[in-house]
Structure 1
Amino acid sequence: MATASLPSDLDRRYGLVRQVVLPGPLPLDGGGSLSPVEIAYETYGTLAPDGGNAILICHALTGDQHVASIHPRTGKPGWWTRMVGAGRPIDPARHFVVCANVLGSCMGSSGPASVDPASGAHWGMAFPVITIRDMVRAQGLLLDHLGVARLRAVVGGSMGGMQALSWPATFPDRVEAAVVIAATARHTAQNIAFHEVGRQAVMADPLWRGGDYYASNEPPAAGLAVARMAAHITYLSEAGLTEKFGRRLQSREAKSFGFDADFQVESYLRHQGIAFVDRFDANSYLYITRAMDYFDLAEEHGGRLADAFRAVPARFCLVSFDTDWLYPTTESRRIVHALNAAGARASFVELSSPYGHDAFLLDSPELNRVVDGFLRADG
């Protein structure tokens, strides 16, 4: 039996965070299983009597379940209030919205920072290596608990888009529509390379201690900050960085001829790194980036991407951004071609934005119009 109850009316209205411990077992792609399974989540709106209005939102690498409510650690608004809320494309007045912290993360779901019930200690690096499909299976357990048999739609950007792709491929009878934004069907060598730089930065920090740093309360902050700085560059575009920072100096009239943050862009990246370590776990960063690197939807279905969608009745909406060099438009087109080859219903649009990969998180009226129109369509 699960140890958490269904959301109350108050939870549905205000999106209060909840946590459930499910008995499992959850089979894992790497072998073995996980049991029990902790999942932290938020819900917004009310599930319709026929269960036909549920939308699952999947978050990105460093995201969490606080999609449209105040983050308890940072005090900042939810990460996608531009998309979720009253009058937004995903509206709790029409939809029952679910967003779960992914397996392996550090905001309440089972991961290296959580406690292994068998030992009573933090999992650390003893936590099993996971995949995107494992994350999706865990979300399936949560939806079973919430009484959601079928999703009106699954929506996600970046790693959330990977989950949105994996959902209909894994549970073809449970998904009516998928919105995949700024995502890919598999990581390229360049994607893996950037992640490896970040992982090595974490593991080279003396405070990492092989992942066993929880008792000391001294996490490998310096290594994780560098990892975040390197990754954050990939989320932006050259045009956006030039427009925002150029070669302008930071709080000084001349170069220092030293190694302080002379340039504004250096100061910005250092701030991003420092802020990140206050809200994220280093081991979780290792596990989730590894899950993304292992993601290859074609490989999971015999080596041909179209075969992932052969028996999928869902309709798909693919969105890319013209300045996204992390998951460029060519990756979205590859998915669309596979969907077409499988006979799936698919629409695709490339939007223009100066903000690179992060454009899906920023103010984008065009993206809102695309998602709103797609979700309102009957299919």
Structure 2
Amino acid sequence: MSIGTFHTEAGAAIPGAEIAYQRFGAFAGEGRGSNNVIVVEHALTGDSNVPDWWAELIGPGRALDTDRWCIIATNALGGCRGSTGPSSPHPSSGVWGSRFPALSIRDLVEAERAALRALGIEHVHAIIGGSMGGARTLEWSLMHPDFLDAACAIAVSARASGWQIGIQSAQISAIERDPFWQGGDYYATDAAPLEGLAAARRIAHLTYRGEQEIDERFGSQAQEGENPLGAFRSPQQRFAVNSYLDYQGAKLAQRFDAGSYVVLTEALNRHDIGRGRGGLNKALGSSHVPTMVVGVDTDILYPYHQQEHLSRNLGNLLAMAKVVSPVGHDAFLAEARQMDRILRNFLHLAQSPGK
């Protein structure tokens, strides 16, 4: 979907920007009025293929019932699943690479809005998102409150904390220190910064899972057939948890672009709904979109107290829900039964009189 020349919040231009999207379920209603559209926002390394990462929650009879709702999901600007990003062709020559501008969460929202409008959609019933998708959902409710009837923000905060910026910047640094990074212009070379991306994912994955779950699964066990307690340290002699993290890193490196990872992680670093709105609490208090807030009790990346802060200060809190799980941040993806109940309740409340 072409959205023309996109101008970023910081003043850069992206000519000929494209936003990829997928639709699940038939549209019913009016593009400018009441309809059955629910926009689902993906997390950092997700994409528009919602059934791939929320398989148990979308489809006929599920919480996101495609016999009733028209689910639309885009791939975020800066991504690598069809939307314009660092790996996309540049209008003048080659690919964008290091010429691709920095983005904010607000940029991702504006690009998505442009794509929806290009589809003839000026209003939707609800927007739902977790993690980076939750940040986009919050910004939607403040930037374009008349565009949506209700919002559900999952496992996210009102702004990036110092800890989040630090851990996310460490991931960016891991990629930039890979000798194949080439300042972001590796696309024309024979090698990509796969080791740097895998290292970034290993760091990130420890924040996506809960400490309790990781310890119960791996503890201090050695990887089968290896001995990490030998006379000399060897990267080939690993603890079981290291093998698991190596697998997770290699898995992401096979399907995701390092340039997109850097751009979208930096967008998360810039997340701050209070910027230019008089601070966090004033911004939250100004929200009139009915909003459900969902958190995970063992979340290390976005601790539950951050969702409590949202719930205490939002101007129109629809409900608060907690996912109880040892899994940590990823519980909003892994705990299908709890999320099914939460999303069904959200959609019920979003249609109730006086919402």
TM range (shorter): over 0.9
Please give the root-mean-square deviation of Cα atoms over the aligned residues, in Å. Answer: 1.5
Aligned residues: 345
How many angstroms apart in 2 are the aligned matches of 1:32 and 1:120?
18
In structure 2, the partner of 1:47 is 27
In structure 2, the partner of 1:288 is 264
- Measured after TM superposition, the shift of residue 224 of structure 1 is 0.9
- Measured after TM superposition, the shift of residue 348 of structure 1 is 0.6
- Identify which of 45, 50, 59 aligns with 1:67: 50
- Identify which of 317, 321, 336 aligns with 2:292: 317
- Identify which of 74, 87, 91 aligns with 1:113: 87
Aligned to 1:180, the other structure's residue is in SS state strand
Aligned to 1:26, the other structure's residue is in SS state strand
2:8 alignment partner AA: L
1:67 alignment partner AA: V
> In 1, are the aligned partners of 2:296 and 2:324 still within 8 Å (CA)?
yes
Alignment of 1:338-349 (within 5 A): 338-339=313-314, 342=315, 344-349=316-321
In structure 2, the partner of 1:372 is 344
> Residues 29-63 of structure 1, C-alpha deviation per residue, up to 9 Å, x if partnerless?
11133232111111101110334110101011111
In structure 2, the CA distance between the partners of 1:123 and 1:271, relative to structure 1 (3 Å rule), is same
Instruction: State whether structure 2 residue 159 is matched by structure 1 residue 178.
Output: no
Q: Identical aligned pairs, as a percentage?
A: 37
How many angstroms apart in 1 are the aligned matches of 2:228 and 2:182?
37
Aligned to 2:243, the other structure's residue is in SS state helix
List alignment gaps of at least 5 residues for structure 2. Answer: none
> In 2, are the aligned partners of 1:173 and 1:313 still within 8 Å (CA)?
no
In structure 2, the CA distance between the partners of 1:304 and 1:193, relative to structure 1 (3 Å rule), is closer
2:270 alignment partner AA: Y
Alignment of 1:98-177 (within 5 A): 98-117=72-91, 119-177=92-150
- Measured after TM superposition, the shift of residue 255 of structure 1 is 4.1
> In 1, are the aligned partners of 2:39 and 2:72 still within 8 Å (CA)?
yes
> Residues 274-310 of structure 1, C-alpha deviation per residue, up to 9 Å, x if partnerless?
1111111111111111100011001141224333552
Instruction: State whether structure 2 residue 305 is matched by structure 1 residue 333.
Output: no
In structure 1, the partner of 2:3 is 22
Which 4+ runs in 1 deviate beyond 6 A? none
2:71 alignment partner AA: V
1:319 alignment partner AA: V
> Residues 314-360 of structure 1, C-alpha deviation per residue, up to 9 Å, x if partnerless?
21111111100110111111111221xx3x13311222101000000
- Measured after TM superposition, the shift of residue 254 of structure 1 is 4.9
Aligned to 1:215, the other structure's residue is in SS state coil
- Identify which of 191, 194, 200 aligns with 2:173: 200
With the length of structure 1 as denominator, give the TM-score of the two structures.
0.88
> In 2, are the aligned partners of 1:61 and 1:289 still within 8 Å (CA)?
yes
Aligned to 1:295, the other structure's residue is in SS state coil
In structure 1, the partner of 2:330 is 358
With the length of structure 2 as denominator, give the TM-score of the two structures.
0.93
List alignment gaps of at least 5 residues for structure 1. Answer: 1-19, 69-77
How many angstroms apart in 2 are the aligned matches of 1:253 and 1:294?
42
How many angstroms apart in 2 are the aligned matches of 1:100 and 1:253?
43
In structure 2, the CA distance between the partners of 1:173 and 1:250, relative to structure 1 (3 Å rule), is same
In structure 2, the CA distance between the partners of 1:125 and 1:238, relative to structure 1 (3 Å rule), is same
Instruction: State whether structure 2 residue 213 is matched by structure 1 residue 240.
Output: yes
1:294 alignment partner AA: R
> In 1, are the aligned partners of 2:284 and 2:310 still within 8 Å (CA)?
no
- Measured after TM superposition, the shift of residue 22 of structure 1 is 2.4
